[in-house]
Structure 1
């Protein structure tokens, strides 16, 4: 069909016009419609799903889709100001142009109607060189519609946003606050440590520095909070927030991320901490210990229905292994997903055996190839159906790891000939995209594919279930 379309250009223009008049776009083949749609997209970068670009891309398809786009206010409820990536790729976007700041933002807001607004202000160097911060002033006027506010830059323009957050009654729809890269104390805000944060009672998600968390907590009232991500970076207060914060004041908490970068204070000792945080609804726990000195804190948590646990630490020695083993013995009965990321080439803690023996319902295990050495998957774990091999180079160790996993799955009966109507979930090994073809070409892997094995590429890190919201900041500043 496409070959016929290509030859269509040799038909005389008069005949082409007559033919086109008799054909509707709906009669064109799907393959050709895809080609037309792709021709409307940017050519420098491969198109990726994006809520902020959705209304513009849909409007380029045809008049019908344009009408749908213009009349669907929810499509215009996402706004992102971020210029650093565009500058590095030398590609202009509507959000970095002066005309958008002067006029476009008002039209965008008009099209969003009365829908709740979610916006992100990322790094945008040089955008304000010729214009005042008109975009944030326009957003300030719509504070009554704010739903999610993400601030990832230190530009003075975000002062207009911060000012509205502490005005009672201005942000009644606000549920999400993410301050991943700013310090509230650096802005001209009159906030005292005990001052209540007006939207506190309605917030469902907070992502911030520990110092910012002190200000956001104020007098408490975060009873509806379901997601909390705190970065303890170069904390100057004593005692540090991590030892004084009671997580039980968030009774509905489902997601908790604790990220550490600064060395521990000498004033406190792990042996003297007896506070136990009982989180009855916590399902996802992310622990990022960049200095390798804080893993003992998991001894202070009780999470009876924990579903996913991700541990990142450069120091995973015997003591750290004991803390983790005790935690899983206490809280690993319902765990489905487990991730380890450490540093160094050795296998810590004597392997993973001592941990996954406490997780009888584990389905997904993510770790580097040194951690998945032969025998580490031998404890009873009949539900384990997916192994993600992270961070390791493609070498003999990786293939030894893959073959060891296959051998154990064969012994357990996961890899065997199945009936056509079998409902048993496949066994999945995921590796880095660069290594995928090498693994698929291996003779033993080819034999196991008909038995129910699937070898897939790892998803981008930002799409991984264990991705840390504060990860980008850690990478930039470390």
Structure 2
């Protein structure tokens, strides 16, 4: 017998019970009570004879974990785990509801104004479901994805009792009128911001970043563009505490400004849009260990962005580059000499144009030099 998904077994059992219930509904009313007793007895006998019914609660709970979708955040849906697990039988419901690990990831949606009539009508029902879900997390750290198309007030109100549990937060700005304020989310360590519309909701995003919780260490805003002025929207103290950052920047001066604002960064993933005439003041960052770079030079496709001329990273250990164009070999070698960094790993995506002589030199100088090859599906692998 081939491998079967646990959810297939659950769904099959659920449908079987529903078939029994449908059959009962057609019985004459006077037989309703007798049939209910028979069905309950039959179900109990079948449950007792089922091997899974004799599993200890601890083992059944672990099996339930494998039933969860692999998505980073789970949707509130009756035919998906963990909600599906509460609909099979009384014992499964008790085990699922009493197992907080099942309820620590959730996607919460409040959509945009074009759907406002439906949204308002459905919100109370969905809010009750979201609240029940979060209660079942039992005070454990939770990871949330929030997507909003109007204003954040209803979501803020819903989450207020659980603010101290939220350790990871993804905010999806669709068409928002105002910010999502996070200063009370004292347990928040990871923040991701996405914007899904063409017109930039800069005011909402900027205000959301103006007051950040003290324990925040990771920020991912890699599909939001920041120039030097917009970087000022960040709370300065929050940037100073960051250890990991993923961001898009407009201008070489914005890039160096980030390094000044974030002295404790150990990991930075940055995509830059540079202009040949732009200048920037040199900067030294002593804590950065991992750097992932991608850039485009306007009106000079594949040109040298000049970035390696203005940065010094004495503690850099890993550098990954995914640019499309000629690699600035000379300025990079000067950067290595100036930084005197213990670079252990250099990774080029296949779009980086480096000569065989340059590649051979890197293979000699750096303990691990790798080139990622892109296949027909767009997936990179090492060569």
- Normalising by structure 2, report the TM-score: 0.62
Q: Distance in 2 between matches of 1:205 and 1:325?
A: 30
The answer to whether structure 1 residue 228 and structure 2 residue 216 are counterparts is no
The answer to whether structure 1 residue 215 and structure 2 residue 225 are counterparts is no
Q: What do the CA deviations read for 1:379-420 (whole angstroms, capped 9, x no partner)?
A: xxxxxxxxxxx2155xxxxxxxxxxxxxxxxxxxxxxxxxxx
1:6-405 matches, within 5 Å, as 23-26=49-52, 48=70, 50-52=72-74, 55-56=82-83, 66-81=93-108, 101-122=126-147, 134-135=154-155, 137-140=157-160, 142-156=162-176, 159=178, 162-165=179-182, 170-181=184-195, 185-187=202-204, 197-199=210-212, 201-208=214-221, 209-211=225-227, 212-217=230-235, 219-220=236-237, 222-233=239-250, 240-243=253-256, 245=257, 247-261=259-273, 263-264=274-275, 266=277, 268-269=278-279, 273=280, 275-280=282-287, 282-291=288-297, 292-293=302-303, 295-317=305-327, 320-328=328-336, 330=339, 333-336=342-345, 338-342=347-351, 348=355, 350-360=357-367, 362=368, 365-367=370-372, 390-392=373-375
Counterparts in 2 of 1:100 and 1:284: CA distance versus 1, 3 Å: farther
DSSP 3-state at the match of 2:195 = coil
DSSP 3-state at the match of 1:241 = helix
Count of matched residue positions in the alignment of Structure 1 and Structure 2: 309
Structure 2 unaligned segments of length 5 or more: list them.
3-41, 55-62, 76-80, 112-121
- Give 1:355 shift: 2.1
Counterparts in 2 of 1:171 and 1:365: CA distance versus 1, 3 Å: same
Q: Distance in 1 between matches of 2:157 and 2:201?
A: 19
Task: Check conservation: 1:299, 1:327, Cα contact below 8 A.
Answer: yes
Q: What do the CA deviations read for 1:308-330 (whole angstroms, capped 9, x no partner)?
A: 3211212224xx12233344555
Q: Distance in 1 between matches of 2:98 and 2:71?
A: 20
The structure carrying a bigger strand percent of its residues is: 2
Task: Check conservation: 1:264, 1:294, Cα contact below 8 A.
Answer: no
Structure 1 unaligned segments of length 5 or more: list them.
3-15, 29-36, 85-96, 368-389, 394-431, 433-457, 466-478
- The CA RMSD over aligned residues, in Å, is 4.7
Counterparts in 2 of 1:78 and 1:213: CA distance versus 1, 3 Å: farther
